[in-house]
Structure 1
Amino acid sequence: MVCNRCIMVVQQVFENIGYKPVRISLGNVETANPISDEDLEKLKKSLVVYGFELIDDTKSRIIEKIKNLVVQSVHHSNEDLKVNYSEYIESHLNRDYAYLSGLFSEIEGTTIEKYIILQKIERVKELLVYDELTLSEIAYQMGYSNVAYLSNQFKKVTGLTPSHFKQVKENKRKPLDEV
């Protein structure tokens, strides 16, 4: 879950089955009562209708937590990340980064670093569409050392320069769950 609408939909699905969530956050739902096996199947089916899936194995939960940390950091935080992403992820999950990186690559077929880049480029696209910041301000906000580095990375991922992207008015962005 990456947006408030997603959280509202998940809350509605849980309530429709008779469970009032105590807390819903990115990738997590806490309920006051344990969920029966029968209701768990109902939840799975109901969530799939809305494009969600219930994650119940440990490795998948770790991957989801990594993704949520990256999305939260890139898209929903205005704070400057004081440590690099490997330290950030390692400290939040209390696991060795080499293990997390290997697991992520094995399951997702891409590296955490590439996933971070894709998320950052999606955020840059969003900021370019809003047209409120200069490219220099965007580069600074996104933690790039300079505009040239951002532009090169942007072009590698999108095939367009940031300025050309601003001119093109089609296919601006992808939903975060499709990145």
Structure 2
Amino acid sequence: MKLYIKNMVCTRCKMVVKQELIKLGIHFSMVELGEVEIIENISCEQQNQLRVALLKAGLELMDDSKSVLIEQIKNVIIDLVHNSEEPLAIKFSEYLHQKLNHDYTYLANLFSEVQGTTIEQFLITHKIERVKELLVYDQINLTEIAYQMHYSSVAHLSTQFKKVTGLTPSHFKQLKNKKRVMLDAV
């Protein structure tokens, strides 16, 4: 049995979900961003207890299939941007289609309708947040960041960064108060 959870965006979220499942005696085989594979069926009482526990942690158990699909889109993007350094061998739209087994146009229209922004804008926002993170860490240069984040050039990255933040990457790096946004707030 699969359960879908909203706002799971990081490893800590996965740890919280695992802890709550263990506390409630719910056996699971897998906990990934946005979803949990439960070994056996759980009672309504257990499901309600899990719902309450997750809400306290800022997470939400989802029932609506459209909400589940939106979260899956977000999780694919977050995983791609924050956990993958390999460039895509195919277009992003095809990648999303293959991951979620839905037509990209359907996914794009649903996402825009529900989120009030496009999949592309959501992807760009996450890429820029990741670039900010890499700039703050100061372990790799802008050329390496552009490559790692799948930009065609440093100029493309810089243009998009300035369009989103109002700053150039070098100016952002010089700021003393480097403001970054938490992933679940993006």
By the TM > 0.5 criterion, same fold?
Answer: yes
Counterpart of 1:119 in structure 2 is: 126
Of Structure 1 and Structure 2, the greater strand share is in 2
For 1:124-163, what aligned pairs fall within 5 Å after superposition? 124-163=131-170
Match of 2:109 among 102, 117, 120: 102
> How far has the Cα of 1:14 moved from its partner?
1.3
**Equivalent-residue separation in structure 2 for 1:167 and 1:139 (angstroms):** 18
Counterpart of 2:99 in structure 1 is: 92
Contact 2:172–2:178 (Cα < 8 Å) also in 1: no
Deviations 1:92-140 (A, max 9, x none): 1111110000000011110000000001001101110111111112112
Counterpart of 2:62 in structure 1 is: 55
Of structures 1 and 2, the one scoring higher in RCO (CA 8 A, sep 6+) is 2
Contact 1:129–1:172 (Cα < 8 Å) also in 2: no
TM-score of the two chains, using structure 1 as the length reference: 0.95
**Equivalent-residue separation in structure 1 for 2:147 and 2:11 (angstroms):** 27
**Equivalent-residue separation in structure 1 for 2:160 and 2:125 (angstroms):** 10
Match of 2:83 among 52, 76, 80: 76
Counterpart of 1:11 in structure 2 is: 18
Aligned CA RMSD, in angstroms, stands at: 1.1
**Equivalent-residue separation in structure 2 for 1:171 and 1:20 (angstroms):** 42
Runs of 4+ in 1 over 6 A off after TM superposition: none
> How far has the Cα of 1:39 moved from its partner?
1.5
Q: Which moved more, 1:19-28 or 1:107-116?
A: 19-28
- Aligned residue pair count: 179
Contact 1:11–1:24 (Cα < 8 Å) also in 2: yes
Q: Would the alpha carbon gap of residues 171 and 54 (structure 1) be closer, same or farther in structure 2, given more than 3 Å must change? A: farther
For 1:20-31, what aligned pairs fall within 5 Å after superposition? 20-31=27-38
> How far has the Cα of 1:172 moved from its partner?
2.9
Q: Which moved more, 1:167-176 or 1:114-123?
A: 167-176
Stretches of structure 2 that go unaligned for 5 or more consecutive residues are 1-7
TM-score of the two chains, using structure 2 as the length reference: 0.92
**Equivalent-residue separation in structure 2 for 1:140 and 1:13 (angstroms):** 39
